[in-house]
Each structure stands twice: as C-alpha cells, then as structure tokens.
Structure 1
Amino acid sequence: MAQAAATTAQQKLSENDVQAIDRLRDAYSRLKSEIGRVIVGQHATVERLAICLFARGHALLMGVPGLAKTLLVSKLAETMSLNFNRIQFTPDLMPMDITGTDILQDTAEGRREFQFVHGPVFANIVLADEINRAPAKTQAAMLEAMQEHNVTVLGKSFHLDEPFLVLATQNPVEQEGTYPLPEAQLDRFMFLIELDYPSEAEEIQIARTTTGEALPKLERLMTPAEILAHQALVRRVPVPDHIYAYAARLVRKTRPSNPTAPAWIKPLVSWGAGPRAVQYLILGAKARAALLGSYMVRLEDVQEVATSVLTHRIITTFAAQAESIDARQIARRLVEETATDA
C-alpha cells in the first residue's frame, strides 16, 4: 500500500519536480555537513530551521545564553548566500530602530531632501534577539514585517527582499523587565524550537573547536533564487487525504471545549491551537518530506513537526502549572495518543 501511495504521489509530481526534490535532498545533506564544521550537535535544530526556511515560516528559538544561537543562524545565512542582520531588542527600542526612517541629507545638487535609510529588518534572515524585551509598539512593527513582508514608515510601504525569515529568541531564565509576546503574535511563528544543553562529549568538542584557530568559512550551497524555487516546490509536494484529516484531528484535540478532546486535557489547557496550526503542520510536513527526498508527505513527517508547531499555541491552566506540566509535555502526549488512531 505504501509503495502504491508513493507511486501515486510521483505521478502527481512532474518529472522536473521529482528531480528538484532529489537536488534539494542532496543540498540539505551538504548543508548539514557544512554547518557541522562549525556547530557541534544541534542536529534537530538545524532541521527545524531548514524546514522553516523552505516552508516560508518563522521560528521562535528558546534556550539559555551560550548555546550558539546567533552563530548557528549566521552560518545558516552564510551557506544559503543570504543577508543576515541581528537586532538586540531592548525596552527603549522604537519601531524606526528596526524598520528605518527618513533622514534629511544633502544631495549632489546642493539641496536637502529626506531619504529613507533602511533599518536592520531589511535582510533575508533577521535574528530578533530577546524579542520579548521590546515594548508592544516595536513588537507590532516586527509583526507586520513577519506577516506582510512589508514595513510601513511615515505612511510609505517598503517591500522586504525575498526570501525573508525571522528567527526570534527568548531567554527562559531572566524575565524581569520583559513584555511577554501576546498569543496573536506567538501564533505567527511556525515553530517553537527549544535548544537544550549539549552532551558532555559535544561540550568537549565545542571547547576544542572554538578555542583554537578561527572558524572555517563555509561553502555557499544555494542562491536566493534557488531558495525561492525550492519554496515553491515545497508547496507542490502532495499530501494524502488521511494526512489532512490527521492534522486537523490532532489540532482539534488541543481545544478543551472540543468534544474530541481527551478528558485529561480539560483541567490542563485553557486555550488550544487555532487553524493556523493545521496549516503549519501540513507545510512543515511538506518541507520535511522534500528535504529528506520523499515525493509525498507521510504520517511521520507530521508527527515529527507537531510538537514544535503546537507547544507555543497551547495555553496551560494554573492547575497544570501547579503540577509542573508544561505545554510541550501536553503536545507530546497528544501526538503519541493520536498516532494510535491515525
């Protein structure tokens, strides 16, 4: 049955698309090898970042300081031939500090005119460091850039270069003086990617790699035009009907008011994931399938991305917090339980 489904999927794809998926698989394999020359471990994180890039999503990175988040993102941009900017969010950061603004300058003719000076958001990959430290007005400007791929300054709209990817970080340790992201803005992020401490062997290798000579310059594996072509290819990866049904069923079980939600959800969850979660489950599964060289989306593709999609969209109750049950544990349990009736 699986072989027949794969044959059907290949028939839905053109021969050019099949060859393009093969090229994307090979490029992704080289990408992992190149980044591995600088970044020790973090294999799951690299996969999640690649999925976001080719699915045209954004990601929220969560991890304590010192886990090489900035280095990882900058090296991803380097291998993809993309422009990279880092914005350090602070409580006094204003929207114009990230979008840019008009500045009065002298022209060659001797006149003084306002000219727009681009802010750091004008890049292909933007690392929004500690985004929850910025006030709501600045977060709203960033939200417009993420959602519309445009910024508006003094009534004028400016389009951002494609591809455009925002990777925002939050420090899970220090929360004093922060502005928690509202649920509507959290929902704009495709993935929540949590970085954990490295293993002992990885930590030893990190010390060896970073305390010697300068880090190597990585090979450029792809151009922006090729990335845009692969993003369009990901959208064409076929999805069987039962995968759509599974994704919708999984998301609906996160909502305590839904009749299909398990009984244990109701006391632990106050608000579940919305329809955008279903969209990102499918898009993430499509991107993962293409990166691994599959010509159709499989159930395991959805299951692999489900926790990253659902965790930041599940709002837990005080009862769950009192029992030290977080949203990630709830998402994992739902995925495990739903897999049995897929």
Structure 2
Amino acid sequence: MEQLLLQMEKELVGQKQNIRLLITALLAGGHVLLEGVPGIGKTKMVRTLSQLIGGESKRVQFTPDMMPSDIIGHVVYNMQTNQFETIKGPVFANLLLADEINRTPPKTQAALLEAMEEGQVTIHGVTYPLPDPFFVVATQNPVEYEGTYVLPEAQLDRFLFKLTMQYPSHEHEKQILKQHIPWQKQQASVATPICTLDEILAQRKKLEEVVVDDSLLEYITTLIRKTRETKRLQLGASSRAGIAVLMASKAWALLDNRLYVTPDDVKMVARPALRHRLILSPQVELEGGTSDHIIDETLAAIPVPR
C-alpha cells in the first residue's frame, strides 16, 4: 500500500490527500464520487490507479441517451444456436470509471444502485455476481449544469466518499508543466501493477484486526446524531453514514500502519464521508454555507475522547 501511494503521488502532482482518500475507500470496500472542474486530472487519477492495481478496469462515458442495459448488460437471441445469450455490460469489472455520471437520466443512474450496494446485478430476472473487488469511481463537473441530472439521495448514499479536486498550487502547477517538457519529463512507470487484487483483498481482511475503542464509537455516534438535530440541515446523516465513517477510519488507520483508530482518523474522513449525505436548509444555502462548514462545526462542538 505504501508503494501504491508513492507511485500515485509521483504521477499526480498536488493531489496527495485525495489519492490517500481514494485508496482508503478502495480498502474500505466503498465507492467514490470525484467532483472537480474539467482538466485537473480526475480521469487520470482513476486510470493511474487501475494500471497500478491490475485487474480489469472499464470506463463508461455517461450520456443523456444511455440506457440501463448499456451499463449492466442485456439478453439477445442467437439465431445460430436458437438460444438467448446474456451480453454482460461494462459494470463487470474490478474498477469502473463512471465518467460524468450526472449527464445520464436517473433511470440509468439507478442501474448502478444494486451493483454498488450488493455487488451483483440482475439481467432479465437472473442475478449475476460482480468481480471482487468491485470499485466504482464516478466523476462529475460542479460548474456546468446544462444537460445534467442531479444525483438522487439514494444514489449519493451509495458512495463512501465524495472527494473534491481543487486547482493545484503555484509550485505544483509548475511541476505539472515540467512533466510535458521532453527533456524534463520522467519516464512513465505505471504499466506494471504494484500490487495484485489478492493483496488488496488481504488488506481488506486485515481491517478486521483494526481496534476501535468504545469511546470512539460513542464519538462517531454523537457526530451522526447531531447532524439530525441541527435546524441548519433539512436531512442529517443516516446510520449508513455512521458505518461509512467507521469503516473509513479503520482503513485510514491501516494505511498509516496502525491497528487502532484515533479521533484524528475520524476527523480526517468525516468530511468526505458525510458532505454528500447532508441536505442544507434553504437559509444556510442563501447565506453561502456548505456541508463542510457544518461538519467542522459539529466536530468542534463534540468533546474529543482521550
């Protein structure tokens, strides 16, 4: 995992924390919604990860005319054999990049619900298990809303994290430009996988060894419940959100070579695990408030366990 992190950071300048959170989600068995303006490396980040972990990866460019069968697959009649055959869709992969997921209608978005939650899809009444591990990374543009469809709450709740990619710093942007100068460009080394799928599954199994003290369980429970009590939110965090924070905290600790969770681990994953599950009240939106602000304020109001 350390080698994977180092190689990812070498290929993607200025995205250290998002890279670590992306791999945390992979270890925790969750999925990621990656939001950012065009041209800052969202697709490159996912493509680099797919090359480094091996396995089968597929990319789907979502469009308004896409149907659910284009994602999960369909049944066709073979006239030569006089039998119906199942054509499996791109969802049958270890890593699925759902590019611009908000450009497809809700009916097609819903095709991913069963896959993301249960690791299986149903085609014409027959259920097929998906490969293990199965990891979805969906991207969306936060600026351009013409021709887009808002992701429903049920779909958003299936994502463990919502990561927001910002513009790189001045120095990092200069390094990115240097990578495109022939005599300064480093030789790409992403062709060879650094870890195997079996090793990733073994690391997931190791999550069971990560210890979470009862005081931290109380800390997470209080955080989740307080989001439901504030009048600044129309909708607070669900029980699934609490599970997301717990599993992500354990995976973050494991990436830090620890078999125990600390309050700092919870604070680190709280924003990406909760920001897409909260619905702001109209007044807060008018005042320019964000989910991140409310999460930070809620954390600040809860005593940190010792």
Asked if Structure 1 and Structure 2 have the same fold, meaning a TM-score greater than 0.5 normalized by the shorter chain, the answer is yes
Aligned pairs (5 A) from 1:140-159: 140-159=110-129
2:50 pairs, out of 77, 81, 85, with 77
The gaps in structure 1 that reach 5 residues or longer are 1-27, 257-264
Shift of 1:177: 2.1
Q: Does 1:254 align with 2:218?
A: no
Return the offset for 1:35. Answer: 1.4
Residue 172 of structure 1 deviates from its aligned partner by 0.3
SS state at 1:313 partner: coil
CA distance in 2, matches of 1:330, 1:48: 20
Q: 1:206 to 1:112 in 2, by over 3 A?
A: farther
Match of 2:170 among 196, 200, 203: 200
Which residue matches 1:18? none
Q: Does 1:299 align with 2:263?
A: yes
Structure 1 SS opposite 2:11: coil
CA contact (8 A) 1:85 1:120 kept: yes
Percent identity of paired positions between Structure 1 and Structure 2: 41
Secondary structure (helix, strand or coil) at the match of 2:227 reads: coil
**Pairwise CA RMSD of aligned residues?**
1.7
What is the 5 A alignment of 1:293-332? 293-332=257-296
User: Which secondary structure does the structure 2 equivalent of 1:37 belong to?
Assistant: helix
Partner of 2:65: 92
Q: Answer yes or no: is 1:64 the counterpart of 2:34.
A: no
Q: Deviations over 1:117-153 (max 9, x none)?
A: 2211111111111112211221111111101111111
Distance (Å, rounded) in 2 between the aligned partners of 1:82 and 1:36: 21
The separation in 2 between residues aligned to 1:68 and 1:84, in whole angstroms, is 18
Paired positions, count? 303
Q: Which residue of 1 aligns with 2:214?
A: 241
SS in 2 for 1:41: coil
- 1:167 aligns to 2:140 (yes or no): no
Q: Deviations over 1:220-254 (max 9, x none)?
A: 22111111111111133111000100000011111
> SS of the residue aligned with 1:82?
coil
1:37·1:216 contact (CA, 8 Å) conserved in 2?
Answer: no
Q: Which amino acid aligns with 1:202?
A: H
Q: Does 1:275 align with 2:239?
A: yes
- Using the TM superposition, give the Cα deviation of residue 113 of structure 1 relative to its aligned residue in structure 2, in angstroms: 3.3
Q: Counterpart of 2:86?
A: 116
When structure 1 is superposed on structure 2, of 331-340 and 220-229 the one drifting more is 331-340
TM-score (norm 1): 0.84
- 1:32 maps to 2:5: yes
Cα distance in structure 2, aligned partners of 1:62 and 1:235: 30
2:209–2:259 CA contact under 8 A, matched in 1:
no
TM-score by length of 2: 0.94
**Which protein shows a greater Rg?**
1
Alpha-carbon distance in 2 for matches of 1:323, 1:56:
36
Aligned equivalents of 1:254, 1:75: Cα separation in 2: 36
CA contact (8 A) 1:38 1:209 kept: no
The amino acid of 1:273's aligned partner reads A
> Which one of 282, 285, 289 corresponds to residue 253 of structure 2?
289
Given residue 110 of structure 2, which amino acid in structure 1 is its aligned partner?
A: A
Residue 112 of structure 1 and its aligned partner are, at CA, apart by 4.3
Q: Is the deviation greater in 88-97 or in 114-123?
A: 114-123
